[in-house]
Amino acid sequence: MTRGPLAEVVLLSLRLGFTAFGGPAVHIAMLRDEVVTRRRWMSDDEFADLLGATNLIPGPNSTEMVMHAGFVRAGWLGFLAGGALFILPAALIVLAIAWAYVAWGKLPAAEWILYGIKPVIIAVVLQAIWGLLRTVVKNVGLAILAIAAFALYFAGIHELAILFGAAIVVLAWRLASRAPRATALVAPLPLFLIFLKIGAVLFGSGYVLLAFLRTELVQRGWLSDPQLLDAIAVGQFTPGPVFTTATFIGYVVGGWSGAAVATLGIFLPAFVFVAITHPLVPRMRRSPALAALLDGVNAGALALMAGVTVQLARTAIVDVVTATLAIIAAIVLLRWKINSAWLVAGGAVVGIVMRA
């Protein structure tokens, strides 16, 4: 892939930062639609390998994938701009909500927007899963592994155990069979250190983030449980990375400087991890052993993505209107391949109209 202008990365990252509602699975689906299907910055194989590598490091996976995409298109400047500008819109929106929260003591109502957006994002993620399925599930063995990983997810097995287990299974399988490699108001410094530690070691979902935040902040007496739940809610219903929950908490406990250092702390490790791993991914694919690990992780990650989608669908499709929205969005995506950002905006408009 030839390098392109930095402006392309800037505009795409900003747009995703303002429109990518729904959490990491949705962000990754929207990113794939943009960089694989529409802009052809990379192939599905390359996207799947970057996603697999991202699942092996701590931090916000969707933000790290935007960094990878920026790196592919515009080098180191694209890497920095992609990550920073995907984070910035969400951080500013969350900061405004945090200011209102401190001023008035409650969260602004957002249920009417989510009512219309949630069923649309189900269709967006399903389209991404379908597209990646042909790339990731290359043979019957990987199909069986993906189905097993999907079942284990709903059996309550931790995401990391599924990902690393899938990687080890494929590696052992390849080695045993000798199969050929597949082609393809707190002081800023303590607050900064707490969120730096969380960003450096956190794997998993928003529920894992909730546990970390409760241990580090509630048990210290810096934050109450209701405030923590409000912070997680803000991260869920605003666009962009869920980790901007840190911006909200930083403002509540430390004002403007607290918001700045908490945001910097939780996202800084992701930039370091992606900078280290991005050049290694093509080399991993050329190594038979590491390529097997990638194939296993990719199959496990796709299964986890499908599992999360099922859980999202349970909360998103609650009546005839939301079911109709999901079906229409799926048809539009498959038939006309319209940009998913427009569908998300359309879902929000439907939600507002229904509320009115």
Per-residue pLDDT tens over the stretch 136-186:
888 888 888 889 988 888 888 877 788 778 888 888 887 776 543 433 356
- 114 within a domain of the structure (yes/no): no
Q: Is 356 helix (H, G, I), strand (E, B) or coil?
A: coil
Question: Tens digits of per-residue pLDDT, 229-262?
Answer: 778 767 766 788 888 889 999 998 888 889 999 9
pLDDT score recorded for residue 66:
95
- 99 within a domain of the structure (yes/no): yes
- 149 within a domain of the structure (yes/no): yes
* Lowest mean pLDDT across 54-68, 264-278, 293-307: 293-307
CB 94 within 8 A of CB 252: no
- 343 within a domain of the structure (yes/no): no
Q: What residues contact 302, with CB distance under 8 A and at least 6 apart?
A: 129, 132, 133, 136, 137, 146
Count structural domains, the chain: 1
Please compute the mean of the pLDDT values over residues 200-215 and round it to a whole number. Answer: 69
Q: Structural domain of residue 173, as residue ranges?
A: 1-104+139-312
> Alpha-carbon dihedral of residues 262, 266, 271, 277, nearest 10 degrees?
170
Residue 138 to residue 283: CA distance in whole angstroms: 20
pLDDT score recorded for residue 74:
94
H or E, element range at 248: helix 245-277
Residue 51 to residue 62: CA distance in whole angstroms: 9
- 66 within a domain of the structure (yes/no): yes
- 82 within a domain of the structure (yes/no): yes
pLDDT score recorded for residue 184:
35
By C-alpha distance, which of 149, 164, 151, 13 is closest to 87? 13
Q: Is 245 helix (H, G, I), strand (E, B) or coil?
A: helix
Burial (CB < 10 A; 0-12, 13-18, 19+), residue 293, is buried
Token digits of residue 197: 């530690």
Q: How confident is the model at residue 290 (pLDDT cuts 50, 70, 90)?
A: confident
Distance of CA 185 to the CA centre of its chain: 30
CB 235 within 8 A of CB 94: yes
Give DSSP secondary structure letters for 1-52: -----HHHHHHHHHHHHHH--S-HHHHHHHHHIIIIIIS-SS-HHHHHHHHH
Give the percent of the chain with pLDDT over 70: 88
Residue 243 to residue 199: CA distance in whole angstroms: 9
- 85 within a domain of the structure (yes/no): yes
- 132 within a domain of the structure (yes/no): no
What rounded mean pLDDT belongs to the chain? 82
Higher pLDDT, 97 or 230: 97
